[in-house]
């Protein structure tokens, strides 16, 4: 039996709010969250997980309400802890992709982010064998997950998705083995 995991990268946040954990969705983000619901409503979702960050939870809360499933907040699906506000995010990200162990004081390396995300993902797959689940996540966290399964995925690939909010990837597992990753097109407005 196949297990399908729909990773939903959160919709556009309100960047005026600098607190990473409480940053809400922008008006556009709220509209796009409705597109996520329309896209996934017919996918026979049986469980939903999310990063604890507000923008991730809010991106899938409409879907959860529509299908009557409670969102399980999973702390280890959170975004990378940067450590301090970074003005030049792309330069910082490039440095992290070039050195998976690079981090700022009080921050996390991409290797650390990948390790905790993969650990909890594999647990979700074990618990939901043969089912379809949604996981609300973040761009960097999702990119490190893709990199785990496809080590050729790097900084240029990350740049390809960095401005895609929301963004949905379907991971199909056969048992615990990843079969494929597919991009899911969002429903129109």
By DSSP bridging, strand 132-137 and strand 45-50 are: parallel
Distance CA 39, CA 52 (A): 22
Compute the average pLDDT of residues 174-186.
97
59 is a domain residue: yes
DSSP letter for each residue of 125-171:
HHHTTTSEEEEEE-HHHHHHHHHHH-TT--HHHHHHHTT-SSEEEEE
Can you give the pTM of this predicted structure? 0.95
Map residue 32 onto helix, strand or coil.
helix
Domain range for residue 90?
2-7+32-131+142-166
Distances (CA, A) of 162 to 22, 78, 103, 105, 156: 20, 16, 19, 23, 10
CATH value at residue 146: 3.40.50.1240
Q: Which residue has the higher pLDDT, 32 or 15?
A: 32
In a domain, 55, yes or no: yes
pLDDT tier, 86 (very low <50, low <70, confident <90, very high otherwise): confident
Q: For 120-147, what is each residue's pLDDT tens digit?
A: 999 999 999 999 999 999 999 999 999 9
Determine, yes or no, domain membership for 156: yes
pLDDT of residue 55: 97
78 is a domain residue? yes
Report how far residue 68's alpha carbon sits from residue 65's, in angstroms, rounded to the nearest whole number. Answer: 5
Distances (CA, A) of 148 to 40, 85, 102, 152: 25, 27, 17, 9
Give percent of the chain above pLDDT 70. Answer: 100
- Residue 107 domain flag: yes
Indicate the pLDDT class of residue 104, thresholds 50, 70 and 90. very high
**The pLDDT value given to residue 84:** 81
- Counting the structural domains of the chain, the total is 1
How far is it, in rounded angstroms, from Cα 118 to Cα 129? 16
């Amino acid at each position: 039996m196949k297990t399908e995991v729909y990773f939903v990268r959160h919709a556009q946040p309100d960047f005026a709010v600098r607190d990473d954990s409480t940053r809400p969705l922008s008006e556009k983000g709220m509209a796009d969250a409705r597109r996520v619901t329309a896209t996934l409503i017919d996918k026979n979702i049986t469980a939903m997980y999310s990063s604890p960050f507000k923008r991730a939870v809010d991106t899938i809360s409409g879907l959860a309400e529509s299908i009557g499933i409670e969102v399980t907040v999973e702390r280890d699906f959170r975004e990378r802890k940067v450590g301090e506000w970074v003005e030049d995010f792309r330069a910082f990200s490039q440095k992290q992709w070039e050195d998976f162990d690079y981090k700022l004081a009080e921050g996390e390396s991409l290797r650390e982010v990948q390790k905790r995300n993969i650990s909890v993902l594999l647990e979700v797959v074990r618990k939901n064998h043969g089912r379809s689940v949604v996981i609300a996540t973040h761009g960097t966290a999702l990119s490190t997950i893709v990199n785990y399964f496809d080590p050729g995925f790097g900084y240029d690939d990350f740049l390809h998705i960095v401005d895609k909010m929301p963004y949905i990837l379907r991971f199909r597992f056969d048992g615990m083995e990843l079969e494929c990753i597919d991009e899911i097109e969002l429903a129109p407005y």
